[in-house]
Structure 1
C-alpha cells in the first residue's frame, strides 16, 4: 500500500486529483476484499450446509463484514488523505496565524508542493511579508515622528532661553531708566526677529513628517547685519552660562543668499553645545569665500575624545562628560542634517589648544 501511495506522487497532484486517486485505490482494495469475503462466505456456507441450525446466519455475517470493510476503508482513506494532503499545510498555517496574532512576523511560511494548499501557503507568506513591510514602515514613521518631536523640543529651548534673557534685561534696566530708548527699540526689534523665526519654525515643524522634509527658503541679506545678529544671539547664550564670547569675520561679499532661520538654528545649537563644555571662553569665526558661508565655533574646554570624534554627530549620542546627561544628544545631529540640506557640511574636530571645534558650512550665492 505504501509503495502504491508513493508511486501516485500525491504532492504533485491537486486536491481533487489526489482525492480521485485515493478513491480509486480505495475501490480496488475494498472490491478485492469483498471478493475474498464472498469466497470465504461460500466456504462457510458449504461447511454448515448439513448443520441442524442451518447456514442462513452466514449471509448476515457476510453483510456485516462487507459493511465493516467499506466503513473501515472509508476511515482509512479519509485519514490517509488528511495526513498526506491537509495535515502539514494546516499545521503550518495555524502556527503562522498564531505568530501573527502575537505580532511576531519574523518567520516564513514554506510548504513544498504544487497543489492548492501550497498556493494557499504562498499567499499566506505574501500576506505575512506585506504585513511585515507595513509594520516596519509604521515603526519607522513612529520613530521618525518621535525623533522629530524630540528635535522640536530641543530646538525651541535655545531661542526661548534667548527670549528670556532679553526679557530679564528689559525688566531689570527699564524701571531704573538705565536703558536708552534706542537700545530698548533695538532689543525689542531683535526679540521680534526671534519671535517671527520661532513662528516660522513651529509652522514648518507642524507641516512636515520628518526632518528631511524641511524646506529651504533662501533670502538675500547683508552679511554684516546677519553676522551681527548671530553675534548678538551667541552673546545671550554664552552670558547665561557665565562665560565670555568673542568673534571675528572674513568676508569677500556684502550680500548672502541663505536660509537665515536654518543657519540660526544650526548656529544656536553649536554655540549652546560649545557653551556647555567651555571653561571660560567661546569664539566664533565667520568666513564667506567662494560662495560658501562658514561658521567655526571653538571653546576652551577639554575637547572631543577619540570616541566623541567618531560618534558626536550621531543622533542621541551624549558622550561621557557629566554635562552629557543634561541634554538629549541631538544638537550636532540636527546641525549635520540641516547643513547637508543647505548643500554644506558639519565637521567636528579639536582646536590647537585642545578645545572643541565645530565647523558648519552653507552653500550661498554671493554678490561681491
Structure 2
C-alpha cells in the first residue's frame, strides 16, 4: 500500500519536488539507521570495553549507510521518475529511425518527463503530417507529369497532321498562298499554345493550380479553330468529323487554351472508340458554353460510366504508350476550375456521349 501511495504521489510531483521528497525520506531512513548503529556501538563498548576497533567500525558503518542512502535515493528516483519515460522515448526514436510514424506515445505523469513525451508526440504527429503531405506532393507531381506527357500528344498530332498536309499538297501547287498562310498561322497558334502550356506546367504543383485567363471572343472563329484541330485528329484515325453550333453569333468570355485542351482530349477519346464518325455540338446557354462530343462506337460500360473520369482509369485498354487513362480526368478538373462540369453518358442511339460546360 505504501509503495502504491508513493507511486501515485510521485506522479503528481515534478522532478525537483520528487528529488526533495526522496532526499527527506532517505535522510530520515539514514538517520534512523545511524541511530541504531550508535546504539550498536555503545553496546559493543559496554561489552568489550574501550577498544581500538569500535570507533573505526562505527565510522565505516555510518559512511556505508550514507552511501547506501544516496545510491538508494538515485535508484528510486530513476525507477519511479525516469526509467519508464526514457524507455518510451527510446522505443519511439527507434521507430522513427526505421521510418515508422504510425504510432503514438503517452505518459500519465505531470512532471517534466510527461511534458517531454507530450512534446515528442506532437513532434511525431507533425512529422507524420509533413511526411504525408510530402508524399502527396510527390504523387501529385508524378500525376501532373503524366498528364503533361499525355496532353502534349494531342497538339503535336495536330501539328503533324498540318505538316503532312503541307508536305503532300504544297509541292503539287494544289494550295493557294492564302491557304498556306492560314495553315502556318494555325500551326503557329498551336506552337504558342505548347509553349504556354509547358511554362504553366513547370510552375504549378497540381492540375487544380492551372490558371484561368478569360478573354472575350466571337464564337465562330474560336469554334473554327477547334474544328480544324478535331478534323486533323479524327482524320488520322481514318474517321470523319461533323459539328453543329447553336447561337453562332454569340460572344463568349473564356480561356481558349483551357477549352482547347479539354475539347481535344474529348475528341481524342471519341476518335479512339468511334467506328466511323465523331460529332461535336456547341451550345451557348445562359452564362455557360456546352460542348458535347459523341461517337458511334460501343459506348461506355456500366463501370466506365462511374469511373471514366477517375485518374488513370483505362477500362479494358492497357496500352500505356497510347492511353494513360487521364483524358477525361483532365477534362473534369479543367472544366471545374473554369466554373463548369463534365457529364459522361451513352447516346440515345448508342456510342459514347460526353458533355462539358464552361462558365462564361
TM-score normalised to the size of structure 2? 0.93
| 1:113 CA displacement | 1.0
- Looking at structure 2, the residues matched to 34 and 8 of structure 1 have their Cα atoms a distance apart, in angstroms, of 29
- Looking at structure 1, the residues matched to 249 and 183 of structure 2 have their Cα atoms a distance apart, in angstroms, of 27
Query: Once the two structures are superposed, what CA deviation does each residue of 1:60-89 show, in whole Å capped at 9, x if it has no partner?
Result: 332322222222222221111000011111
| 1:169 CA displacement | 1.3
| 1:128 CA displacement | 2.0
**Maintained 8 Å contact 1:223/1:255:** yes
| 1:203 CA displacement | 2.4
Indicate the SS of the match to 1:326. Answer: coil
Find the counterpart in structure 1 of residue 356 from structure 2: 360
Find the counterpart in structure 1 of residue 154 from structure 2: 158
Structure 1 residues 4 and 357 mapped into 2: Cα distance closer, same or farther (>3 Å)? closer
- Looking at structure 1, the residues matched to 214 and 89 of structure 2 have their Cα atoms a distance apart, in angstroms, of 57
CA RMSD of aligned residues (A): 2.1
| 1:280 CA displacement | 2.2
How do 1:264-283 and structure 2 match up within 5 A? 264-283=260-279
- Looking at structure 2, the residues matched to 7 and 172 of structure 1 have their Cα atoms a distance apart, in angstroms, of 93
Moved more, 20-29 or 68-77: 68-77
Is 1:18–2:18 an aligned residue pair? yes
How do 1:258-337 and structure 2 match up within 5 A? 258-322=254-318, 326-337=322-333
Is 1:127–2:132 an aligned residue pair? no
Can you give the 5+ residue segments of structure 1 that lack an aligned partner in the other structure? Answer: none
Is 1:239–2:242 an aligned residue pair? no
- Looking at structure 1, the residues matched to 202 and 53 of structure 2 have their Cα atoms a distance apart, in angstroms, of 93
| 1:322 CA displacement | 4.9
How do 1:84-99 and structure 2 match up within 5 A? 84-99=80-95
Instruction: List structure 1 runs of 4+ shifted beyond 4 angstroms.
Output: 322-325
How do 1:138-287 and structure 2 match up within 5 A? 138-251=134-247, 253-287=249-283
Moved more, 221-230 or 335-344: 221-230
- Looking at structure 1, the residues matched to 207 and 187 of structure 2 have their Cα atoms a distance apart, in angstroms, of 26
- Looking at structure 1, the residues matched to 100 and 20 of structure 2 have their Cα atoms a distance apart, in angstroms, of 39
- Looking at structure 1, the residues matched to 81 and 41 of structure 2 have their Cα atoms a distance apart, in angstroms, of 37
**Maintained 8 Å contact 1:318/1:325:** no
- Looking at structure 2, the residues matched to 114 and 291 of structure 1 have their Cα atoms a distance apart, in angstroms, of 62
Structure 1 residues 306 and 68 mapped into 2: Cα distance closer, same or farther (>3 Å)? same
| 1:214 CA displacement | 1.8
Can you give the 5+ residue segments of structure 2 that lack an aligned partner in the other structure? Answer: none
Find the counterpart in structure 2 of residue 69 from structure 1: 65
- Looking at structure 1, the residues matched to 3 and 339 of structure 2 have their Cα atoms a distance apart, in angstroms, of 73
- Looking at structure 2, the residues matched to 149 and 8 of structure 1 have their Cα atoms a distance apart, in angstroms, of 59
- Looking at structure 1, the residues matched to 89 and 53 of structure 2 have their Cα atoms a distance apart, in angstroms, of 52
**Maintained 8 Å contact 2:317/2:323:** no
- Looking at structure 1, the residues matched to 69 and 248 of structure 2 have their Cα atoms a distance apart, in angstroms, of 99
- Looking at structure 1, the residues matched to 318 and 345 of structure 2 have their Cα atoms a distance apart, in angstroms, of 20
**Maintained 8 Å contact 1:276/1:323:** no
- Looking at structure 2, the residues matched to 83 and 46 of structure 1 have their Cα atoms a distance apart, in angstroms, of 43
Is 1:47–2:47 an aligned residue pair? yes
